[in-house]
């Protein structure tokens, strides 16, 4: 669709939404959680009433602020990291206490307005590449603690890099339309039908953790429909697939034990699996630093979410004889190149080499991640619990498109796995994608 076509669609959509809202909006049906539940949730807060700066440090880790606000080789929180979007590149801001180039002149109120309302100090709309649609759920005391922590850090003088968004996305006031469609302002409200652990997990995962930002499909405006949240999504430009975190059995957390998810978020590896790509960074910068009971709360919440069908299917179908050829060749490639680590029974080696048998990353509809791991190789993150992770070498030079398609077709159809074949053309497509 042309740029102007998109603008027209947005304007029409906004008008329709506004009209519907005016007709159907009613007073909120919201039921406040009982005081006892609120007290139980508060008791789960691991940093309790401790020093506000220490508390803010923990919360900033839970929000992975540094994941975006530190450029490679740059100073912590000084920004300048290019955040790619389908509309162009947005650069993260300097959020150190430097008064001129950072947020040193921001009051706790200004800071709260950024997190809660998605607005800068001058009131201008911030772009949703900054995950304020999630951070809006943070409570005021938590926002104040993060502010206090950031203000306690060394000031770094570093001017912000101007964004390079294409027109019309470069026009900030147009974010108003996006906000009408996809942004609901509001602090997380406890759900009285659920227990305290679930609520703590929902607060962290849907707010600071902003898991939704990657694990959901986005439409052509970069918006996420409520109904699609956490059902799995492609990550812009970097081009990885973040699988469903709902209880979906094929692509989600349906068959996982809560403790398995906790171990993965804490150590980067569980007995059977390992995280890779952008999730390795999330574990490295954020989740490994969280207390286990907070990870437990998040995993409990995620596992309770009803399964949502993922819309990401393999791009290519293969015919019967092609499939048989792929399987034959694949079993040979596997024996020569992969079995040394992942073992001939696909069970891997506990905490060193992930199992490929019954591994959701291997059998889910989307084949992007498996293709990219084989082409590019990878390391799980180094964490306190697993400081020197074992890695996987890249096979881009060693294996042809047919070899990679064959070995993955074999892996997707052995040891109880059952999934559609991978076509050589799919492998060729992801060869061209840069690692970052």
Q: Binding to ligand HEC (CB under 6 A): which residues in 248-267?
A: 261, 264
CB 156 within 8 A of CB 96: yes
- Pick the piece of the chain touching ligand HEC (CB under 6 A) from 1-9, 30-38, 63-71, 318-326: 63-71
Q: 110: number of CA atoms within 13 Å, CB side?
A: 13
Residue 274, exposed/middle/buried by CB under 10 A (0-12, 13-18, 19+)? buried
End-to-end CA distance of the chain: 27
Instruction: Indicate whether 426 belongs to the interface with ligand HEC (CB under 6 A).
Output: no
Sign of the dihedral through C-alpha 130, 134, 139, 141? negative
Nearer to ligand HEC, 69 or 218 (CB): 69
Nearer to ligand HEC, 2 or 122 (CB): 122
Which residues are within 8 A (CB) of 345 and not within 5 positions of it... i.e. 6 or more apart?
357, 415
- Pick the piece of the chain touching ligand HEC (CB under 6 A) from 46-54, 223-231, 320-328, 392-400: 392-400
For residues 325 and 327, what is the distance between their CA atoms, to the nearest angstrom?
Answer: 5
| 245, 247, 249, 250 alpha-carbon torsion, rounded to 10° | -20
Site for ligand HEC in 150-179 (CB under 6 A): 163
Instruction: Indicate whether 277 belongs to the interface with ligand HEC (CB under 6 A).
Output: yes
Residue linked to tokens 């970052």: 436
- Pick the piece of the chain touching ligand HEC (CB under 6 A) from 1-9, 121-129, 318-326, 424-432: 121-129
Nearer to ligand HEC, 71 or 341 (CB): 341
Quote the least distance from Cβ 404 to ligand HEC, whole Å.
7
For residues 126 and 176, what is the distance between their CA atoms, to the nearest angstrom?
Answer: 10
Nearer to ligand HEC, 33 or 205 (CB): 205
- Pick the piece of the chain touching ligand HEC (CB under 6 A) from 50-58, 119-127, 180-188, 216-224: 119-127
Instruction: Indicate whether 214 belongs to the interface with ligand HEC (CB under 6 A).
Output: yes
CB 60 within 8 A of CB 138: no
Quote the least distance from Cβ 382 to ligand HEC, whole Å.
11
Nearer to ligand HEC, 104 or 191 (CB): 104
Among 55, 116, 215, 234, binds ligand HEC (CB under 6 A): 215
Burial 395-418 (b: 16+ CB within 10 A, else e): bbeebebbbbbbbbbbbbbbbebe
Please name which of 426, 59, 393 lies closest in space to residue 241, comparing C-alpha atoms.
426
- Pick the piece of the chain touching ligand HEC (CB under 6 A) from 41-49, 65-73, 217-225, 309-317: 65-73
For residues 365 and 75, what is the distance between their CA atoms, to the nearest angstrom?
Answer: 39
Site for ligand HEC in 177-196 (CB under 6 A): none
Instruction: Indicate whether 363 belongs to the interface with ligand HEC (CB under 6 A).
Output: no
Instruction: Indicate whether 83 belongs to the interface with ligand HEC (CB under 6 A).
Output: yes
Nearer to ligand HEC, 40 or 238 (CB): 238
Backbone phi, then psi, for 357, in 5-degree steps?
-70, 130
Instruction: Indicate whether 357 belongs to the interface with ligand HEC (CB under 6 A).
Output: no
Among 146, 196, 423, 427, binds ligand HEC (CB under 6 A): 146
Quote the least distance from Cβ 77 to ligand HEC, whole Å.
9
């Amino acid at each position: 669709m042309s740029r102007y076509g998109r603008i027209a669609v947005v304007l029409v959509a906004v008008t329709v939404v506004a009209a519907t809202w005016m007709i159907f909006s009613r007073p909120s049906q919201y039921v406040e959680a009982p005081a006892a539940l609120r007290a139980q949730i508060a008791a789960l807060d691991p940093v309790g009433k401790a020093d506000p700066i220490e508390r803010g440090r923990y919360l900033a880790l839970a929000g992975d602020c540094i994941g975006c606000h530190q450029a490679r080789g740059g100073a912590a929180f000084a920004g300048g990291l290019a955040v790619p979007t389908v509309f162009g590149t947005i650069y993260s801001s300097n959020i150190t206490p430097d008064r001129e180039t950072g947020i040193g002149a921001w009051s706790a109120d200004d800071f709260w307005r950024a997190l809660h309302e998605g607005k800068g100090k001058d009131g201008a709309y911030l772009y949703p590449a900054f995950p304020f649609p999630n951070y809006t759920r943070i409570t005021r005391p938590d926002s104040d603690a993060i502010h206090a922590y950031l203000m306690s850090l060394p000031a770094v003088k570093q001017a912000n890099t101007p964004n390079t968004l294409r027109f019309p996305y470069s026009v900030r006031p147009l974010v108003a339309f996006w906000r009408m469609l996809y942004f609901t302002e509001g602090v997380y409200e406890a759900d009285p039908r659920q227990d305290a652990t679930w609520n703590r997990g929902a607060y962290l995962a849907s707010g600071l953790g902003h898991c939704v930002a990657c694990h959901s499909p986005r439409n052509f405006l970069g918006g996420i429909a409520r109904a699609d949240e956490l059902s799995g999504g492609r990550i812009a430009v970097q081009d990885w697939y973040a699988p469903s975190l709902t209880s979906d059995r094929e692509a989600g957390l349906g068959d996982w034990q809560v403790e398995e998810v906790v171990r993965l978020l804490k150590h980067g590896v569980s007995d059977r699996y390992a995280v890779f790509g952008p999730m390795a960074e999330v574990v490295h910068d954020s989740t490994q630093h969280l207390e286990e009971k907070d990870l437990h709360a998040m995993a409990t919440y995620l596992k309770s979410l009803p399964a949502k069908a993922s819309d990401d299917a393999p791009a290519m179908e293969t015919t019967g004889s092609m499939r048989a050829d792929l399987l034959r060749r694949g079993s040979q490639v596997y024996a020569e190149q992969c079995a040394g680590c992942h073992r001939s029974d696909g069970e891997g080696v506990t905490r060193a080499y992930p199992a490929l048998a019954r591994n959701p990353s291997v059998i889910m509809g989307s084949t992007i991640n498996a293709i990219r791991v084989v082409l590019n190789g990878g390391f799980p993150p180094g964490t306190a619990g697993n400081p020197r992770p074992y890695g996987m070498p890249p096979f881009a030079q060693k294996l042809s498109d047919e070899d990679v398609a064959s070995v993955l077709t074999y892996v997707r159809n052995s040891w109880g796995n059952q999934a559609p074949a991978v076509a050589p053309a799919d492998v060729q497509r992801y060869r061209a994608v840069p690692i970052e």
